[in-house]
Every structure is written in C-alpha cells, then in structure tokens.
Structure 1
C-alpha cells in the first residue's frame, strides 16, 4: 500500500488583504447595485409603454362608427318648386358592437363632390381653430336651432358656417350620455350628423327640411346634383375611419327627400 500523501500550505502563500481589496469589493457591489437599479427602472418604463401601446391599439381596433344610411333633403319654396340639388345631408350613424365610446366633438367629416372638399368640425369644437360655430347652443334641446345656425349663419373667421362645421342630433341615447355640448356616443346609441350641401344656385329657397331659411342659407361650396359622385369620410379621434361613397340618382323627380346610401 502506498503511504498517505500529505498536503500542506506553502510557506510563502498569502491571502489578499488590505484597504485596496476592500475598496475594489465595495466598488463591485456598488456597480452591481446600480446596474440592477437601471434594469429595474428600464423594465418599469417598458411595461408602462407596453400597457399604453396596448390600450391605444385596442382603441384603434374597437372604436368604429357605422354609417347606417344617408338621406338628402332639397331646399324648396313649395311642393312643386324645389332646388335642383341636395341642400342638406342627414347621415345616420351608430357604433359597432363592442366599440369604445366615440366623442363626436373630436370627429372630422370630410366630404367631396368630386370638385370641392370640405373638412368639417363639430360646431362646438373650439380647440382645433380656437373658435366654434357662431350662435351654437349647448342646450340639450337646441339641435334644431343649431342646424338653423349651420345653414344660415356666418362669422368673420372662418366664414360661412356651412363650409366648416357640422351639427348632430341624437335619435337613441339610453344612458343619457349624449347632449349638444358633449356628444358622446356609446354602443347602442344612434345619431344624425347634419352636413350642409347648399349650392350657390339654390340660395333663394324658403325652407330646407324643417328649417325656415327665407333665402338666407349660405353657400357650402358643394354641388350635389343628379349623377354626382360623393365621398364621405368620418375620422374619429380614435379608431378606424369610416367611408361611404354614393352616386346620386339620375333624377330627383318631385321628391324632397332622396335616399342616397346605401
């Protein structure tokens, strides 16, 4: 048998001791602490950004207006004396199932007749251009009065209301979230968006729908005569845009109200 081999320390073996070693050790601990703190802070910021992005993405895909139908109304003096063009559009809108609430105060309605285009704001929106529509009333029952102001009134800046604004009227609002001053739509709500399309050749007629204009209606710079191709784009603050395109009938005949879309 072999004898057990004894292992011992060399006589010149020494451990690292002293203030220098302690400083290096403390520095390593501090560096590790700072690195961990930076990683924790960065992960927190990334988490917040991810949550914000996810919320915005959800709003983009879940908030969506639906155009139910569009009717056109012709200005008239009587049942046999009517304008040759559509003077007012009634755009009935609702929300898709599961949609987030939509604030019509932030909605932009773009309409073109193939020649001219109007980008319209809600009449109570005084933030985009620092002013709202003249003679607008936020009273809950003021939808008809606001429509009259849309068709007939003007202001120094920006000009004729008909070229720059639209108004709304609620049809169904079970939770009472919708009013003239704060037109919020929730799922199940229905509303009418009024867009003036008075032509410069139809400024002398006495009435447009229920509104007595007495020939004071303002030119919208649009002209929706027979066979006119019209495109309307609704752009909410959040969510997908909604577009409707229609071709006006070849003749309006003796009809005051014309179904245009779908």
Structure 2
C-alpha cells in the first residue's frame, strides 16, 4: 500500500498591513486638508475682523455729532442807540466740540441758513478750494487775512472777484462766506489760516444775515464794526417772527442743527439772544 505524505506547505497572503498603510495615508490627507481649511478660515476671519473694525470706526465717525452749538446771538445794524435796523443782520454762533471728539477743520465746514424763503450755503472765508472758479485759482474771500476783525468786516461789506481776467466770477461775501474768531485754544491748534478745533476749544462763528432794508437804510455800525454805509445784502430777511433753520455740517460726522423762531419784537435791544 502506497501512503502519500500528508505534510504540505501552505502560503497565505496577509493584506492587513496594506489596509493599515492605506488608512494612514487617508488619515494624513484628511489632516492636511483640515489644516489648510483651518488656515484659510483663520486668515479670512482676521481680514473680516480688520474690515469690521475699520467699518465700525467709520460708522462711529458718521453718526457721532462732533460739533456742538452752544449759543446763538443776533445783532442789528445801527446808526445810534435809537436808530437801529428792524432785522438781525449778523449772527454770532458759539461752537465747541463734544467730549472725545475727533478734531474738526472749519475750512471744510458748510453752514446752511434759511429764513423760510431763501437758503445760503456758506463756507469758511479762508477756504481756497470750494469756490475756486478755475483750477489753480484760490477760492477764498478776497483780502482774507490773519485778522478776524478785518475778515468779518470784509464779509459784511465787500465782494470777491476771483479768477483770471476774462474768466472770473464775483461773489457777494455776505452770501458766500462765514468767518471765525477763537475764544479758547489751549493747544494752539487754531489760526485763521488753519482753523482746526480740538476738544476743549471754543470759537465764535459769524454768519452774515444783512437784509436789503438795512443796506437801503445805510447803517454805519454793525456790532462794533464801522461798516461805513457799505453793507452788502445776504438776501436773508431775519425780521421778527421769522423761522430760522441753521445746519452746521462738518467734513465727517453728523450735522448739528439749530431751529428757532425770532421774537415778536426786538424792542430797543441791539443784541438778541436766539438759541438755546
């Protein structure tokens, strides 16, 4: 009887190692993808945060009211204490800044005033750009100087002819410009040529409101200024019971408003308190 040997060698393929390596590769790939995604998210969130901060600052500037109207007084033109105009021909507006406000350049401020019938949009008398008739020509009030008294007198009594001969334009100063005089300036930030307000500063803004009737009457004095019968009409008529609206608009930030109705009579007063 032939007996066949039962011992045989058997080889088995062990694939567990291959599966483990594939899983490891997939895991590493997932980690790399997650790391890249996390890096992108972190970078994007940083950019968005910076943009949000910048937008927040700009929004704060736009909605915050920097300029603060403290007081408004009106003055009548006159020849004497018993011979005064029936209208208010000059407004004296005291202005300051709210606490922690950004500095305000008054050269970029626009003051709009209406008597219910006419509106004048005034710029600072030293502003060289806003009313420039042609490029390269200064648009500030003619004869503008470092003296606030001289500037106020010119704003009330003169015209400004700007531009080159043959291509110029003439503005009535009382319809075009306002002037400013400082009250308090502890940090020396304010001058006639660089009228910058910082926190704690106070200035007086003079707004011409000369009426045609005062021009026709030939009054010689307005406030303490000798106007020598040469007043120029602002086109406004601030007579008793008139409704006056004033808007002070800075370059950035919210506008400041002052609305009031003039008294039923000015009596014998040269100066009349109007606001608040």
Q: Distance in 2 between matches of 1:144 and 1:196?
A: 13
Shift of 1:162: 0.7
Q: Distance in 2 between matches of 1:146 and 1:217?
A: 14
> What is the TM-score of this pair, normalised by structure 2?
0.78
Q: Distance in 1 between matches of 2:46 and 2:128?
A: 37
- Counting matched residue pairs gives 244
Residue ranges of structure 1 left out of the alignment (5+ in a row): 1-5, 15-28
Deviations 1:78-131 (A, max 9, x none): 111111100100001111122221111111111000000011111111222321
Q: Distance in 1 between matches of 2:12 and 2:72?
A: 99
Matches within 5 A, 1:113-192: 113-130=115-132, 131-137=139-145, 139=146, 142-156=147-161, 157-192=169-204
Matches within 5 A, 1:28-177: 46-130=48-132, 131-137=139-145, 139=146, 142-156=147-161, 157-177=169-189
Which protein shows a greater Rg?
2
Residue ranges of structure 2 left out of the alignment (5+ in a row): 1-9, 19-31, 133-138, 162-168
Q: Distance in 2 between matches of 1:224 and 1:148?
A: 20
Contact 1:111/1:117 (<8 A) preserved: yes
Q: Distance in 1 between matches of 2:207 and 2:239?
A: 15
Shift of 1:47: 4.3
In structure 2, the CA distance between the partners of 1:88 and 1:40, relative to structure 1 (3 Å rule), is: same
Q: Distance in 2 between matches of 1:40 and 1:132?
A: 52
> What is the TM-score of this pair, normalised by structure 1?
0.82
Tell me which residue corresponds to 1:24. none
Deviations 1:44-94 (A, max 9, x none): 654443332122123234442111111001011111111110010000111
